[in-house]
Chain A
Amino acid sequence: MDRRDFLKHFCWVISSGGVLGGVSADAWARMLNKTYDTTKHYYGMGIDIDKCIGCGRCMEACKTENDVPAVPYYFRTWVERYVIKTDRTVSVNTINMESDEPGDVLVEKDVLRSFFVPKLCNQCDHPPCVQVCPVGATFKTDDGVILVDSKRCIGCRYCIQACPYGARYLHPETRVADKCTFCYHRLVKGLLPVCVEVCPKQARVFGDMKSIASPLGRFTRMNKIHVLKPSLNTDPKVYYANLDGEVN
């Protein structure tokens, strides 16, 4: 048997073994070509309020990564500073790294509690924004991320009105609705969303709910979890730990 014959037989044996083992040529091709399978993932994010230091690195990195306009009115993620005074008045401000916050000067005695709350699109399981879109431009992917088709969106702002979390904005240049995508272009390549990547305190945890060993699984086991506006039955996939009752 010369080398050519040997290889021929070898290939034949290998491929027939594959077919016998229940792996079709089609499945082989899929396994080789496609390393990312949307149906195998379901993403969520955990946020620990006790860890956030309000440094705003996530906001800045998000703007860079996703080409969000630099002016402080457009955000895919933002951090709110809650100040609850002893007279039970609550003030909420989105932190602005560029300006010296006048809110900084607090009479400590008057403050009951104060903390930072990072916010972003909750990637709801039952998203109100998808329901209201008149042209079907926004949808949920198999891995649980809500995306906007920027070519079909007509910029009518219905979704911006419908979002109970204020997570969407109208992009001033493209004139279509824009929102957090959990950095979808990074996820499919195995990278973390950029806000999770740069968070200096690991206040943000990202994970796959279909994987047992995901950091998010541990986060939800170890902490008491709250979501924002649970009464709306939107089933948010951003899970908060140590969330104060005043936050909405």
Chain B
Amino acid sequence: MKDFFKKLPEQAVRVVTVFIGLVLILLVVWRFILPPELKDHDLQITATVEREVAKEIKYAGAQICGQCHEKEPEIKKVGYHRDLSCESCHGAAQKHVENPTEVKPTSPKKRDYCSYCHKYNSSRPTGFPQINPDRHNPRKPCITCHNPHNPKPPTTPRSCAACHAQIERAKAASYHALIACAVCHTTPEKHKVSPRTVIPTKPDKREFCGKCHDKGSSRKGVPTVDMAAHGEKYVCWQCHYPHTLGGI
């Protein structure tokens, strides 16, 4: 055996030694240095999920706020902001939950904050209450007139134009300018305070327009047609829009 090693050329011994050395280093690295999650896919997944789960929660969630604050959720749940989570305005509050006396959540009081949602933007869905901050009581903080926990217009709007200004402006230039909104739309008083749930009526029959515009009508100075022959099966407002100039 000794002869066999002696007979080997020196270069071969060196190459084999280096090779064995490399293999040993590799084994040591694999065995002792590499963390187990780099070697096993399942372990890697578990480790990542654990790391992900251990991340800090910063928003506490709306459920927990009501456990201490009793008054605000009661006010809020009947108002327009009922679906709004507390932290949408007051910011991340998990720290406040853990340490209620020392860490206080923010309470936005500036106009810019309400503007995030209520500044006019033509891409917002119609019907969402929006204002032009440059014209709507400039520089006055919103909370002087509106309670953010139950926001309402400070006074109930008197005329329809407070909300339906576009229709009011169009109507003012039309032949119907002198006809009040209530002539055609029966408006329950409650519509002023809950505009979405109580909705005014709209005329639904040809005969409604016919009261003034039929041939036999007693109105003076109103264009009349023979309702029986004119327009066939169509209702009037399919061709004539009653709010606009000229009505057509």
Given A57-B116, A152-B38: A65 and B58 interface contact (C-beta under 8 Å): yes
Chain B contact residues, majority secondary structure: loop
Q: Is A132 an interface residue (CB 8 A)?
A: no
Q: Complex Cα distance A147/B85, Å?
A: 27
Q: Are A202 and B83 closer than 8 Å at their CB atoms?
A: yes
Q: Are A104 and B121 closer than 8 Å at their CB atoms?
A: yes
The segment out of B40-48, B195-203, B222-230 that lies at the interface is B40-48
Q: Are B92 and A64 closer than 8 Å at their CB atoms?
A: yes
Q: What residues on B are CB-neighbors of A186 within 8 Å? A: 57, 59, 61
Tell which of A51, A65, A116, A181 touches B59, judged by Cβ atoms closer than 8 Å. Answer: A65
A: residues with CB less than 8 A from B are 38, 50-57, 61, 64-66, 81-83, 97, 104, 106, 108, 111, 114-116, 136, 139, 141, 147-152, 181, 184-186, 188-189, 191-192, 194, 197-202
Q: What residues on B are CB-neighbors of A114 within 8 Å? A: 122-123
Q: What residues on A are CB-neighbors of B53 within 8 Å? A: 184-185, 188
Q: What residues on A are CB-neighbors of B38 within 8 Å? A: 152
Can you list 29 contacts pairing A with B, beta carbon distance less than 8 Å? Answer: A52-B125, A53-B117, A54-B123, A55-B116, A61-B87, A61-B92, A64-B91, A81-B123, A97-B116, A106-B122, A114-B122, A139-B48, A141-B49, A147-B49, A147-B52, A149-B48, A150-B48, A151-B51, A152-B38, A185-B55, A185-B56, A186-B57, A188-B53, A189-B57, A191-B57, A197-B87, A198-B85, A199-B85, A202-B83
Q: Complex Cα distance A198/B92, Å?
A: 10
Smallest Cβ distance from B45 to chain A, in angstroms? 6
Q: What residues on B are CB-neighbors of A38 within 8 Å? A: 49
Q: Is B101 an interface residue (CB 8 A)?
A: no
Tell which of B45, B48, B52, B62 touches A185, judged by Cβ atoms closer than 8 Å. Answer: B52
Q: Are B59 and A149 closer than 8 Å at their CB atoms?
A: no
Q: What residues on B are CB-neighbors of A200 within 8 Å? A: 81, 83-85, 88, 117
Q: Is B169 an interface residue (CB 8 A)?
A: no
Q: Complex Cα distance A202/B84, Å?
A: 8
Smallest Cβ distance from B20 to chain A, in angstroms? 29
Q: What residues on B are CB-neighbors of A66 within 8 Å? A: 55
Which residues B12-49 have CB closer than 8 A to chain A?
A: 37-38, 41, 44-45, 47-49
Q: What residues on B are CB-neighbors of A115 within 8 Å? A: 123, 125
Q: Are B125 and A51 closer than 8 Å at their CB atoms?
A: yes
Q: Are A197 and B47 closer than 8 Å at their CB atoms?
A: no
Given A61-B92, A104-B121, A114-B123: A194 and B45 interface contact (C-beta under 8 Å): no
Q: Complex Cα distance A55/B38, Å?
A: 43
Q: Complex Cα distance A116/B121, Å?
A: 11
Q: What residues on B are CB-neighbors of A148 within 8 Å? A: 48
Q: Are B117 and A55 closer than 8 Å at their CB atoms?
A: yes
Q: What residues on B are CB-neighbors of A152 within 8 Å? A: 38, 44
Q: Complex Cα distance A52/B10, Å?
A: 79
Q: What residues on A are CB-neighbors of B124 within 8 Å? A: 53-54, 116
Q: What residues on A are CB-neighbors of B84 within 8 Å? A: 200
Q: Complex Cα distance A185/B56, Å?
A: 8
Q: What residues on A are CB-neighbors of B47 within 8 Å? A: 149, 151
Q: Are B125 and A198 closer than 8 Å at their CB atoms?
A: no
Given A141-B45, A147-B49, A198-B59: A57 and B122 interface contact (C-beta under 8 Å): no
Q: Are B125 and A181 closer than 8 Å at their CB atoms?
A: no
Q: What residues on B are CB-neighbors of A181 within 8 Å? A: 52
Smallest Cβ distance from A187 to chain B, in angstroms? 9
Q: Is B248 an interface residue (CB 8 A)?
A: no
Q: Are B54 and A83 closer than 8 Å at their CB atoms?
A: no
Q: Is B128 an interface residue (CB 8 A)?
A: yes
Q: Are B48 and A83 closer than 8 Å at their CB atoms?
A: no
Given A57-B88, A97-B116, A200-B84: A192 and B61 interface contact (C-beta under 8 Å): yes
